[in-house]
Amino acid sequence: MRLKIFLRTLPIMLITALLGIGALAAPVGAAGTITQTITPTSGSPAITQVSIAGTGFAPGAYTILFNATVVNSGTIPAGGALNVTFVVPALPKGAYAVTVDDSSADPAVAAGTFTVNQTILTSVANAPIGATVTVNGYGFNPNVAVNVYFGALTTPVAQVTSLENTNGSFSKQFLVPQAPRANYFITATDAFTTPASANILFAVTPRITAISAETGGVGDTVTINGDGFTALGSVSFFFDSDTTTALTTVTANASGIIPATTITIPTAARGVHTIIVRDNTATAISVTRLYTINVSKITVSPTSGQVGTSVTISGNGFNSGGVIDFEFDGAAFTGVTSITAAANGTFTKTAVIIPTTSAGAHTITARVTSDPTVFANATFTVNSRIVITPTTGTAGTTVTITGSGFSPAGVMSFTYDATPLASSPATPTIQANGTFSAQVVIPGAAAATHTIYAVDGMGNVATASFISTITATLTPLTNTLEPGFVGQEITAAGTGFMPNSTVTIRLGNTPMGSVVANATGTFSIKFKIDAIPAGAYVIFISDGTTTKQFDYIMEGNAPAAPTLVTPARDAKAEQPVVFDWNDVSDPSGVTYTLEVALDSSFTKLALKKDGLTSSKYTMTEAEKLETVPKKAPYYWRVIARDGAGNVGAAGSAFTFTVGFSLEDIPMWAWITGGFFVVVIVGGLLYYFTRRRSMY
């Protein structure tokens, strides 16, 4: 079975083998076949890539001809297959034949026709205003002028002469004109009867046209100008990678130009940084400019003060993480330790004490330890200062003055307000570090706060306040437990009053005396208390400028009631009546009031004598009393009153009578008289009775 099949197929196999041998023996010049026509069939020179494929070509060298221009060449491999590409050459606008010529003697094989169209290319797809852009044109009509337009087809930005447009190709440069950020067509049109025209999109990008400074320090201001931004669009300025917090934002005008914008360099470390100007209409579009912080800065707060002032030193623009040391007038700052700058190049050093030094401007320096060339200075002005001990006292007090911050070349002098002061030593020495020490004696002056001035004659002045006090005493002092009394002698003394002034003493508004103080305001005076009512008073001691006052308490104890002597109780007094009573004692002195009345309530006074200074009073003839009976006697009493007006209580009143009255006849006299009256009356009756009987 298998043999039959083999015998049947054998003739076919032999025929196939013979055909194969015939093909190998075929002549080399056999024509090839294009299996794929050129693709594409139209396009632009320099940018369009064309593909050709075919079979049956003679192995060996080949060339691809575009019109008469070789655009590709190589070797066809065994088998005669062809598969190549080429770029359309620079030729004028038109249709051109494309052929394949292999190594055989046969004519070239036509691959097809390719139509060349005009096109333009730019050296860059986008650029800022003022940038130089090269435009290349291909496939135009040859040897004619070409105009290149930017945007509107009005005024060309470039013109190509006919001599420059050879073979329909040209290359020309132009400057991007003033325009806001946008996409614009660049158009090239030749001057042929039937013009060839081509365009390409071109984007205007923003630019910084000017920057006032590219180096400086933190806090410096930089002015930036720019254009090419979106018309009437928002434009923000940023520093480094922080594009969320704008330094400032402005609005571009209709031409895309931003106004001259000033920004302040934010806090950042020493080194190169980036200023970013962003078109907010298209946030991905921005322009940058490098800015180098190469200036370190420090500030001192406060900027002036006295020796010993605590200051804070703040710095910026230093090396990130740099170690900072401090100097005062070029020397290491005593007692001030180093500090490490933060990542942003800043630091703050507090509690830095200004050392003892002379008056004037001094330099504080912050310097990077690892790089001494990186430093910054600030000026601190040392003001003069004095300290006085004590700060209060009276005239004649010795005060020690110590000073700092003065000029070693100066000569010290002192005044007390406007009064020159003698000092010890007479000419205090100002040390090289601006210090001195001296003593002065406080002169007499009003009790108040006064100013001591220290002047070195070099324009440096310092002041200190001295509180001048007045010391005054009153001896003895009185109070409610130990009050004063009329006639009491008081001593007033004082120091620190106005020199050579008249010091007056007043009890209330009543002058009590005066005395002249000496050159240091010291005085002493004695005076007596006048008769005044009991109560509280104020004694004033004054030199006309300063007044001291003291409370004065006048005693309020009433004197005792006087003890009556004569006329004795129920006595019959002889006219003129002599009244006598015992003396009453009182520190303020005593006067008496004698009252004689017809009633025990003393509402019907027969006699009243006030202000009696003696404990005895004899009535005058004019004051003679009328005779009264015992049943209606006179009443008398005495009331004591002291110099302070304190009135004592009246003691028990005595009664007395004066003159003759029937009540003065004793009983025996009345009996005897009655007897004689009876006898006489009886005798007369007897006589008249007898006589009548006789008649």
Q: What is the pTM of this model?
A: 0.63
Beta strand pairing call for 392-393 and 461-468: parallel
Contact 358/314 with Cβ under 8 angstroms?
Answer: no
Confidence of residue 20 (pLDDT cuts 50, 70, 90): very low
Cα separation, 212 vs 279, in Å, equals: 21
Residue type, 156: P
Least confident stretch, 13-22, 347-356, 378-387, 644-653: 13-22
Compute the C-alpha angle 106/110/112, nearest 5°: 170
Q: What local confidence, expressed as pLDDT, does residue 169 receive? A: 96
384-468 matches 209-294 in CATH topology: yes
Q: Does pLDDT of 6 surpass 50?
A: no
Q: Does pLDDT of 674 surpass 70?
A: no
Please provide the DSSP assignment of 56-113 as one string.
SPPSEEEEEEETTEEEEEEEEPTT--EEEEEEPPS--SEEEEEEEE-SSSSPPEEEEE
| 532 torsion bin: left (phi>0), alpha (psi -120 to 50), beta (else) | beta
Residue type, 199: N
Cα separation, 119 vs 168, in Å, equals: 10
**Bridge partners of residue 242, in order along the sequence:** 239
The residue written with tokens 């030593």 in the block is 425
Contact 275/288 with Cβ under 8 angstroms?
Answer: yes
Q: What local confidence, expressed as pLDDT, does residue 27 receive? A: 37
- Count of alpha carbons within 13 Å of 394, Cβ hemisphere only? 14
Q: What local confidence, expressed as pLDDT, does residue 695 receive? A: 58
Element (H, E) at 684: helix 667-694
Q: Which CATH architecture has domain 209-294?
A: Sandwich (2.60)
Q: What local confidence, expressed as pLDDT, does residue 688 receive? A: 73
Which class in CATH covers the domain with range 471-554?
mainly beta
* HEC profile of 259-285: EEEEEECCCCCCEEEEEEEEEHHHCCC
Q: What local confidence, expressed as pLDDT, does residue 1 receive? A: 40
Cα separation, 420 vs 453, in Å, equals: 9
* HEC profile of 307-328: CCCEEEEEEECCCCCCEEEEEE
Question: Cα Rg for the chain, rounded, in angstroms?
Answer: 69
Each domain of the chain, given as residue ranges in start order, spans 33-116, 119-205, 209-294, 296-382, 384-468, 471-554, 564-664, 665-695
Q: Does pLDDT of 523 surpass 70?
A: yes
- What DSSP designation does 32 have? P
Q: What local confidence, expressed as pLDDT, does residue 430 receive? A: 95
Cα separation, 182 vs 206, in Å, equals: 10
Q: Does pLDDT of 678 surpass 80?
A: no
Element (H, E) at 693: helix 667-694
Contact 95/170 with Cβ under 8 angstroms?
Answer: no
Cα separation, 158 vs 220, in Å, equals: 43
Q: What local confidence, expressed as pLDDT, does residue 14 receive? A: 42
Tens-place pLDDT, residues 400-429: 999 999 999 999 999 999 999 999 999 999
Cα separation, 137 vs 34, in Å, equals: 32
Tens-place pLDDT, residues 496-510: 888 889 999 999 999
Higher pLDDT, 237 or 682: 237
**Bridge partners of residue 49, in order along the sequence:** 87
Judged on CB neighbours under 10 Å (0-12, 13-18, 19+), 318 is buried
Confidence of residue 11 (pLDDT cuts 50, 70, 90): very low
Contact 213/189 with Cβ under 8 angstroms?
Answer: no
Residue 10, SS3 per DSSP:
helix
Closest CA to 515 of 490, 494, 496: 494
Cα separation, 555 vs 532, in Å, equals: 10
Could you please state the CATH topology (level 3) that the domain comprising 33-116 is classified under.
Answer: Immunoglobulin-like (2.60.40)
Q: What local confidence, expressed as pLDDT, does residue 231 receive? A: 96
Cα separation, 504 vs 542, in Å, equals: 6
Q: Does pLDDT of 25 surpass 80?
A: no
Q: What local confidence, expressed as pLDDT, does residue 683 receive? A: 73
Cα separation, 528 vs 479, in Å, equals: 17
Query: Does domain 119-205 match CATH 2.60.40.1930?
Result: yes
Judged on CB neighbours under 10 Å (0-12, 13-18, 19+), 534 is buried
Judged on CB neighbours under 10 Å (0-12, 13-18, 19+), 395 is buried
Tens-place pLDDT, residues 332-361: 999 999 999 999 999 999 999 999 999 999
Average pLDDT over residues 18-32: 41
Average pLDDT over residues 26-46: 74
Contact 59/130 with Cβ under 8 angstroms?
Answer: no
Confidence of residue 286 (pLDDT cuts 50, 70, 90): very high
Average pLDDT over residues 20-39: 56
Q: What local confidence, expressed as pLDDT, does residue 670 receive? A: 57
Q: What backbone torsions phi and psi does residue 677 show, to the nearest 5 degrees?
A: -65, -40
Tally Cβ neighbours within 10 Å of residue 598: 17
| 139 torsion bin: left (phi>0), alpha (psi -120 to 50), beta (else) | left
Tens-place pLDDT, residues 578-601: 999 999 999 999 999 999 999 999
CATH of domain 296-382: 2.60.40.10
Helix boundaries (H) for 88-246? none
Confidence of residue 668 (pLDDT cuts 50, 70, 90): low
Tens-place pLDDT, residues 175-220: 999 999 999 999 999 999 999 999 999 999 999 999 999 999 999 9
Contact 149/187 with Cβ under 8 angstroms?
Answer: yes
Q: What local confidence, expressed as pLDDT, does residue 673 receive? A: 66
CATH of domain 564-664: 2.60.40.10
Average pLDDT value for the chain? 90
Higher pLDDT, 470 or 520: 470
Confidence of residue 77 (pLDDT cuts 50, 70, 90): very high
Judged on CB neighbours under 10 Å (0-12, 13-18, 19+), 682 is exposed
Higher pLDDT, 670 or 460: 460
Q: Does pLDDT of 19 surpass 90?
A: no
Tens-place pLDDT, residues 229-258: 999 999 999 999 999 999 999 999 999 999
Which class in CATH covers the domain with range 384-468?
mainly beta
Average pLDDT over residues 615-622: 94
Helix boundaries (H) for 285-411? none
Tally Cβ neighbours within 10 Å of residue 222: 20
Confidence of residue 107 (pLDDT cuts 50, 70, 90): confident
- What DSSP designation does 501 have? P
Contact 384/406 with Cβ under 8 angstroms?
Answer: yes
Confidence of residue 662 (pLDDT cuts 50, 70, 90): low
Q: Where are the beta strands (DSSP E) in 510-625?
A: 510-516, 523-528, 535-542, 547-554, 564-566, 571-572, 578-581, 590-597, 605-612, 616-618
Confidence of residue 380 (pLDDT cuts 50, 70, 90): very high
Q: Does pLDDT of 667 surpass 70?
A: no
Tokens of 284: 């991905």
Largest CA distance in the chain: 258
Q: What local confidence, expressed as pLDDT, does residue 661 receive? A: 56
